Chain A
Amino acid sequence: MSIEIKHVTKRYAGYTALDNISLNVDTGDLVALLGPSGCGKTTLLRIIAGLDTPDSGSIFLEERDTTGIPAREKNVGFVFQHYALFRHLNVFDNVAFGLRVRPSQTRPSKNEIRDRVVYLLKLVQMEWAVKRYPSQLSGGQRQRVALARALAVNPKVLLLDEPFSALDAKVRQELRRWLRKLHDDIHVTSIFVTHDQEEALELADRIVVINKGRIEQQGSPQEVYDHPANAFVYNFLGNVNVFHGRLRDGKVLVGDHLIEAGKRIGHHEAEHGQAFIRPHEIGISRIRSGKNDIVGFIRDIRLMGGQIGLELETAGFDKPIEAEIPRETWRNLELSRGDEVFITLDRATVFTGDYVI
Chain B
Amino acid sequence: MQTGPNPDKTALRHRTGTSHQDPLAVRVILIFLTLLFFGGFVFLPLALVFAEGFRKGAAVYIESIREPYAIAALELTLTTAAIVVPLNAVFGVAAAWAVSKFTFRGKTFLVSLLDLPFAVSPVIAGLIFVLLLGSRTTLGSWLGEHGIKLIFSTPGIVIATLFVTFPFVARELIPLMESQGREEEEAAVTLGAKGWQVFSIVTLPNIRWGLLYGMILCMARSIGEFGAVSVVSGHIRGMTNTIPLHVEILYSEYNYAASFAVASILVFLALATIVVRSIMENALHNQQQTQF
- Which residues of B are interface residues toward A (Cβ below 8 A)? 183-184, 186-194, 197, 201-202, 205-206, 290-292
Contact = CB atoms under 8 A, between A and B. Distances in A.
A102 B201 CA distance: 13
A158 B270 CA distance: 54
A134 B292 contact: yes
A338 B117 CA distance: 75
A328 B36 CA distance: 80
Contacts of A51: 186, 189-190
A252 to B, nearest CB: 48
Given A101-B191, A101-B197, 20 more contacts: A51-B189, A70-B189, A71-B189, A72-B190, A72-B194, A75-B192, A78-B190, A80-B183, A80-B186, A85-B184, A87-B290, A97-B201, A101-B201, A133-B290, A135-B290, A142-B292, A146-B187, A149-B187, A150-B191, A153-B192
Interface in A139-165: 142, 146, 149-150, 152-153
14 contacts: A51-B190, A74-B190, A78-B187, A82-B183, A87-B184, A87-B291, A88-B205, A98-B191, A98-B192, A101-B192, A101-B194, A101-B201, A134-B292, A149-B191
For the side of the interface on A, what is the size category? 20 to 34
Most buried by B among A49, A98, A133, A142: A98
Contact of B188 (A82, A86, A102): A86
A71 B292 contact: no
Contact of A72 (B183, B184, B193, B201): B193
A69 interface: no
Contacts of B190: 49-51, 71-72, 74, 76-78, 150
Contacts of A133: 290
Contacts of A97: 188, 191, 193, 201
Interface in A84-100: 84-88, 97-98
B194 to A, nearest CB: 7
B221 to A, nearest CB: 29
B192 A102 contact: yes
Interface of A: 49-51, 70-78, 80, 82, 84-88, 97-98, 101-102, 133-135, 142, 146, 149-150, 152-153
A84 B203 CA distance: 12
A2 to B, nearest CB: 19
Contacts of A77: 190
Most buried by B among A50, A85, A87, A135: A87
A152 B187 CA distance: 13
A86 B193 CA distance: 13
Contact of B187 (A73, A74, A84, A102): A84
A74 B190 CA distance: 8
A74 B192 CA distance: 8
B184 A84 contact: yes
A247 B206 CA distance: 63
A114 B187 CA distance: 21
A6 to B, nearest CB: 22
Contacts of B290: 87, 133, 135
A51 B101 CA distance: 13
A74 B197 CA distance: 17
A149 B292 CA distance: 18
Nearest to A88: B205
A84 B186 contact: yes
B192 A135 contact: no
Given A78-B187, A97-B188, A87 B193 contact: no
Contacts of A80: 183, 186-187
